[in-house]
Amino acid sequence: MIPEPDQYGPYVWALICEPRLPALHEPRPNRAVADLLNGDAARLFGITPTCDKAAMRLCVAALWMYHDCLDEAHDIVQRDDSRIAALLHGMIHTRDGDYANARLWRRRAGRFPFFGRLSEAACEVAWDLPGIDTARPLGFGEGWDGERFVDICRDSLHSDEPDQVTCRQAMLLEWRLAFDYCYRQATGLI
């Protein structure tokens, strides 16, 4: 099951209620969200002061990323040495076209419990598009392979539009699950 945006409270919901497919290589930052994201993160999430503040900062980084503000997201994740920060770091570089760095950070991140759900959901997305043959590599048999996904995204820039749409939809799925993981960590749910 992929998390729904309305479970994160009204402020976060307002930031992510409208689905935004991530850009491949040339993001268009939505800086209209700056006032909310530069404010008090605890108020944004409605979290008590005893929450995991590092995870809350990563939630903010993920929200910057959602709105294609990759520089702001990068500034936050590069100061955190956690595995989930490494994954977000790799996701940022997948989107900005720095594929070698994307693979490096994804390798450092390792595997996460949500990779199985991500793999299944990405396969479903791929099979729903007519004429698409990327489902097999997106499925990866036993789970998500982030480094392979970086290569698929890079290669999709030189292929048909359905491949690019599949990659963008898989990026959104990956973002939603990574954000949910950070949120649950910030609120003490994991």
Kindly report, residue by residue over 25-72, the tens digit of the pLDDT: 788 888 888 888 887 777 777 766 557 889 999 999 999 999 999 999
Mean pLDDT along residues 163-187: 90
Mean pLDDT along residues 80-107: 97
Q: Which pLDDT belongs to residue 139?
A: 44
Q: Considering the chain, what percentage of its residues have pLDDT values greater than 70?
A: 85
Structure-token pair, residue 62 = 């993920």
Structure-token pair, residue 67 = 């709105």
Using the Cα atoms of residue 57, residue 58, residue 61 and residue 67 in order, give the sign of their dihedral: negative
Structure-token pair, residue 83 = 């595995």
Q: Is the separation of the CB atoms in 67 and 22 below 8 Å?
A: no
| 94-119 CB burial, b ≥16 within 10 A, e <16 | bbbebbebbbbbbeebeebebbebbb
Residue that wins the pLDDT comparison between 15 and 107: 107
Structure-token pair, residue 146 = 């982030």
- Cα separation, 123 vs 170, in Å, equals 9
How crowded is residue 71: how many other Cβ atoms within 10 Å of its Cβ? 11
Helix 115-128 to helix 161-186 angle (10° resolution) is 150
Name the average pLDDT for the chain. Answer: 84
**Coil, strand or helix at 87:** helix
Q: Is 188 left (phi over 0), alpha (psi -120 to 50) or beta?
A: left
Structure-token pair, residue 152 = 């698929």
Cβ-proximal residues to 147 (8 Å cutoff; 6+ apart), any chain: 103, 106, 107
Out of 74-83, 96-105, 139-148, 154-163, least confident range? 139-148
